[in-house]
Amino acid sequence: MHPDKWPEIKEKIKSSFAVSAERLEKNEERSEQTEILEFQGPLGKMKVEWISRPKVLDTKTHYSNRIGSNVQVDYVYSSDELTHTLKVYKWDEALGDWQKVEGVF
Mind listing the pLDDT tens digit for each residue in 49-89? 999 999 999 999 888 888 878 889 888 889 899 999 999 99
60 secondary structure, DSSP code:
E
Summarised one tens digit per residue, pLDDT across range 41-51 is 888 999 999 99
Q: Output the pTM of the full model.
A: 0.79
Residue 6's CB: how many other CB atoms inside 10 A? 16
- Domain ranges, ordered by start, for the chain: 5-54+82-100
How many whole angstroms separate alpha carbon 92 and alpha carbon 99? Answer: 6
Region class of 31: left (phi > 0), else alpha (psi between -120 and 50), else beta: left
Do 42 and 19 form a contact (C-beta atoms < 8 A)?
A: no
